[in-house]
């Protein structure tokens, strides 16, 4: 059975001092057994090494929010997969809609980064999702299917089983508007079917598909109860220990035994 995975995307928030406070708060409250659930925190680059020292030996795994597709070189401002591995990252968020919108990231670039991340031993959390305009035009299915097919291009079935897809409708990110559990479930199933067509159904059944977009303690239980929602990528609500923990509790509660 697929584990429920909760990842906190800290975005461009938290200095190292603030990061320490948040992680210590999360650790202090994470006193219950996680069972099959997993927890990942994704702080900004400047806090990764510090947060790693605080989560090492705990149930919390570390992720970054972006990576480049070369090991090293003259790429001013970029960070490479081996660099992320060296500070203890196991995961990396790729193709977040903010990176697509503000930094021009395309499906092709996200695919290149995903392949490199996998080859370097990082697990990518690859984001897909439609804009409000696309949903209103009724082209959500087409957009999401194209994104999934493009970002997974030339990735082996062994690798696809390891990675995480995050379905994040752009209109639900940071807006307080959440997709209804049914709206999210419909797209999650579509993503799984698309992976099934590209690989095999047995492969698709192993892929963890997270939902993201205004996930809060209050809506997380219903979302996480859906058959094809295997976790959450949490923005705003992960910046406070209490709300992040409440979402993790709902992941534990809704984990299939």
User: Rounded to the nearest whole angstrom, what is the least distance from the CB of residue 257 to ligand PGA in the complex?
Assistant: 28
From the list 96, 98, 105, 188, the catalytic residue is: 96
Report the length, in residues, of the chain.
257
From the list 105, 168, 188, 249, the catalytic residue is: 168
Point out which residues bind ligand PGA (CB under 6 A). Answer: 9, 168, 173-174, 212-215, 233-237
Q: Which residue is nearest to ligand PGA (CB)?
A: 235
SS3 content of the chain, % helix, strand, coil (to 5): 45, 15, 40
Name the 3-class secondary structure at 179. Answer: coil
Question: Chain-centre distance of CA 231, in angstroms?
Answer: 9
Cα separations in angstroms, 100 against 19, 46, 126, 203: 26, 22, 12, 27
User: Rounded to the nearest whole angstrom, what is the least distance from the CB of residue 11 to ligand PGA in the complex?
Assistant: 7
For ligand PGA, give the closer residue by CB, 95 or 213. 213
For ligand PGA, give the closer residue by CB, 109 or 215. 215
Residue 22 CB burial class (10 angstroms; 0-12, 13-18, ≥19): buried
For ligand PGA, give the closer residue by CB, 168 or 249. 168
User: Rounded to the nearest whole angstrom, what is the least distance from the CB of residue 37 to ligand PGA in the complex?
Assistant: 18
User: Rounded to the nearest whole angstrom, what is the least distance from the CB of residue 43 to ligand PGA in the complex?
Assistant: 14
Cα(58)–Cα(56) distance, rounded to whole angstroms?
5
Cα(38)–Cα(6) distance, rounded to whole angstroms?
6
Cα(240)–Cα(238) distance, rounded to whole angstroms?
5
Cα(22)–Cα(104) distance, rounded to whole angstroms?
31
User: Rounded to the nearest whole angstrom, what is the least distance from the CB of residue 151 to ligand PGA in the complex?
Assistant: 16
User: Rounded to the nearest whole angstrom, what is the least distance from the CB of residue 31 to ligand PGA in the complex?
Assistant: 24
Name the 3-class secondary structure at 127. Answer: strand
Cα(132)–Cα(129) distance, rounded to whole angstroms?
10
96 catalytic per annotation:
yes
Q: At what angle do helices 16-29 and 241-254 cross, to 10 degrees?
A: 40
Catalytic residues: 96, 168
């Amino acid at each position: 059975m697929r584990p429920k995975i909760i990842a906190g995307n800290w975005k461009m928030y938290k200095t190292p001092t603030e990061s320490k406070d948040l992680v210590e708060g999360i650790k202090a409250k994470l006193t219950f057994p996680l069972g099959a659930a997993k927890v990942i925190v994704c702080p900004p680059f400047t806090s990764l090494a510090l947060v790693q020292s605080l989560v090492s030996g705990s149930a919390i795994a570390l992720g970054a929010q972006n990576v480049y597709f070369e090991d090293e070189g003259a790429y001013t401002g970029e960070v490479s997969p081996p660099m992320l591995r060296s500070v203890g990252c196991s995961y990396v968020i790729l193709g977040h809609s903010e990176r697509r919108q503000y930094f021009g990231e395309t499906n092709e670039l996200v695919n290149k980064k995903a392949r490199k991340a996998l080859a370097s031993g990082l697990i990518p959390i690859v984001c897909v999702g439609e804009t409000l305009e696309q949903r209103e035009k009724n082209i959500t299915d087409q957009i999401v299917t194209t994104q999934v097919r493009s970002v997974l291009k030339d990735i082996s079935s062994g690798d696809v089983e390891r990675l995480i897809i995050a379905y994040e409708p752009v209109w639900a990110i940071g807006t307080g508007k959440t997709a209804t559990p049914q709206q999210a479930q419909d797209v999650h199933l579509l993503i799984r079917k698309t992976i099934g067509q590209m690989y095999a159904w047995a492969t698709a059944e192993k892929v963890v598909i997270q939902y993201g977009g205004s996930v809060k303690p209050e809506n997380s239980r219903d979302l996480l109860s859906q058959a094809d929602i295997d976790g959450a990528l949490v923005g705003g609500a992960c910046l406070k220990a209490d709300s992040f923990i409440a979402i993790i509790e709902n992941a534990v509660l809704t984990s299939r035994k």
